[in-house]
């Protein structure tokens, strides 16, 4: 049954990826202009040679099928703006940096958000609950780039504890990690709190409490698993976004991750770069959502039982 489930999900993933690649390709070519729009001072013969070199002089359907063929072989094409470098090269160079930063942010956001939300639910209606929810509301309301600049001002310019920007040692990752983790921490805390409050009102929780078990132990051992399903749903897209690079945070801290290259490719109208990074981002998102679907069956076995019953 699991093999059938994985096969079905795999087909859906491939079909979705094809839709994204196709839609992005035709939307990019529907935008007026071209990658050499800023090079009009060049002779027309040179421009024609550039179009021929990158295949932009061919009919659109020919370019599309050539792009799909390269995609099937794992070749995302050459960069137009950065001559001699391929999109695969930029991904291999930038993704490990973005992924490292994302893993650090998620490693901070997930446990902190779950613990904060659980603590607020256990102290429902008290000052601890109000303080935790106020903190999470502020974190959700303040944009990440505002937090990033605030952290730079306090910890770098005033206290001189951490470097302002660039990428190198672990110290360079602390501030961007905090800026990236603030929003998901707040969302996870609010989701965990609201669902934990609902779970704590269930009959099986009240029965466990009636037997004399401590509230904290009941919440962690019996209630937390059922309260985590909405959190898992949220973790799918937010994990993909963080792992592939936050454009604004990487720009503020001058981090050479994928986010920075995406911004440069859009401003430079680098078609292969935009297409390649979009497909890569989509693939990462779909794979993470696929893994989240598998985690559902581990967190709540009833989901798997329903699939077996109605398959």
Quote the pLDDT of residue 307.
Answer: 46
User: Do residue 291 and residue 143 come from a single domain?
Assistant: yes
Quote the pLDDT of residue 266.
Answer: 76
Quote the pLDDT of residue 98.
Answer: 85
Give yes or no for residue 134 having a pLDDT over 60. yes
Give yes or no for residue 157 having a pLDDT over 80. yes
Choosing from 72, 102, 120, the residue where a domain stops is 72
Give yes or no for residue 93 having a pLDDT over 50. yes
Choosing from 37, 72, 107, the residue where a domain stops is 72
- Give the residue from 67, 87, 88 showing the smallest Cα distance to 25: 67
User: Do residue 98 and residue 27 come from a single domain?
Assistant: no
Q: Helices H, strands E: what count in the chain?
A: 15, 0
Quote the pLDDT of residue 42.
Answer: 66
Residue 244's pLDDT band, with cuts at 50, 70 and 90, is low
Quote the pLDDT of residue 38.
Answer: 58
Query: Between 302 and 20, whose confidence is greater?
Result: 20
Give yes or no for residue 311 having a pLDDT over 50. no
Range of the domain at 65: 2-72
User: Do residue 39 and residue 116 come from a single domain?
Assistant: no
The arithmetic mean of pLDDT across residues 104-125, rounded, is: 86
The arithmetic mean of pLDDT across residues 190-215, rounded, is: 77
User: Do residue 31 and residue 156 come from a single domain?
Assistant: no
Whole-model pTM: value is 0.76
In a domain, 188, yes or no: yes
Total domains in the fold of the chain: 2
Residue-averaged pLDDT of the chain: 80
- pLDDT 10s digits, 8-64: 878 888 888 889 889 888 887 777 766 666 555 667 777 778 778 777 778 888 888
User: Do residue 120 and residue 209 come from a single domain?
Assistant: yes
Report the percentage of the chain scoring pLDDT > 90. Answer: 0
CB neighbours (10 Å) of residue 147? Answer: 21
User: Do residue 149 and residue 59 come from a single domain?
Assistant: no
Residue reference for tokens 């069956």: 297
DSSP string of 139-198? Answer: HHHS-HHHHHHHHIIIIIIIS--S-SS-SSSTHHHHHHHHHHHHHHHHHHHHHHHHHHHH
- Give the residue from 174, 184, 138, 186 showing the smallest Cα distance to 253: 174
Quote the pLDDT of residue 90.
Answer: 87
Quote the pLDDT of residue 302.
Answer: 57
In a domain, 82, yes or no: no
Quote the pLDDT of residue 40.
Answer: 56
CATH code of the domain covering residue 245: 1.10.3720.10
For 77, 238, 261, 269, 274, the CA distances from 264, given in Å and listed in that order, are 17, 23, 5, 8, 9
User: Do residue 121 and residue 178 come from a single domain?
Assistant: yes
Instruction: Return the bridge partners of 78, or none.
Output: 86
- pLDDT 10s digits, 253-283: 888 888 778 777 777 778 888 888 888 888 8
User: Do residue 39 and residue 147 come from a single domain?
Assistant: no
User: Do residue 60 and residue 126 come from a single domain?
Assistant: no
Give yes or no for residue 207 having a pLDDT over 50. yes
In a domain, 245, yes or no: yes
User: Do residue 248 and residue 125 come from a single domain?
Assistant: yes
User: Do residue 42 and residue 97 come from a single domain?
Assistant: no
- pLDDT 10s digits, 169-202: 888 888 999 888 888 888 888 888 888 888 777 7
SS3 86: strand
């Amino acid at each position: 049954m699991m093999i059938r489930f994985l096969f079905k999900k795999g087909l859906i993933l491939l079909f979705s990826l094809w839709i994204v690649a196709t839609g992005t390709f035709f939307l990019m070519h529907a935008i007026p202009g071209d990658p050499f729009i800023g090079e009009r001072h060049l002779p027309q013969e040179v421009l024609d040679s550039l179009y021929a070199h990158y295949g932009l002089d061919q009919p659109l359907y020919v370019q599309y099928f050539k792009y799909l063929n390269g995609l099937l072989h794992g070749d995302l094409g050459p960069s137009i703006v950065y001559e001699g470098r391929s999109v695969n090269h930029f991904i291999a160079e930038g993704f490990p940096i973005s992924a490292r930063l994302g893993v650090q942010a998620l490693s901070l956001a997930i446990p902190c958000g779950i613990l904060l939300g659980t603590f607020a639910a256990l102290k429902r209606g008290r000052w601890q609950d109000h303080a935790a929810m106020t903190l999470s509301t502020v974190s959700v309301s303040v944009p990440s780039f505002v937090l990033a600049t605030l952290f730079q001002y306090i910890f770098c310019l005033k206290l001189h504890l951490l470097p302002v920007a660039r990428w190198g040692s672990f110290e360079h990752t602390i501030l961007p990690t905090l800026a990236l983790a603030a929003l998901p921490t707040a969302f996870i805390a609010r989701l965990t709190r609201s669902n934990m409050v609902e779970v704590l009102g269930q009959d099986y929780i009240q029965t466990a409490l009636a037997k004399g078990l401590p509230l904290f132990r009941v919440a962690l051992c019996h209630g937390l698993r059922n309260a985590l399903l909405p959190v898992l749903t949220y973790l799918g897209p937010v994990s993909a976004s963080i792992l592939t690079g936050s454009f604004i945070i990487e720009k503020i801290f001058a981090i050479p991750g994928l986010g920075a290259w995406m911004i440069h490719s859009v401003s430079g109208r680098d078609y292969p770069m935009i297409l390649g990074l979009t497909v890569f981002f989509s693939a990462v998102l779909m794979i993470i959502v696929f893994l989240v679907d598998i985690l559902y069956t581990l967190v709540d076995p009833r989901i798997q039982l329903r699939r077996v019953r109605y398959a």
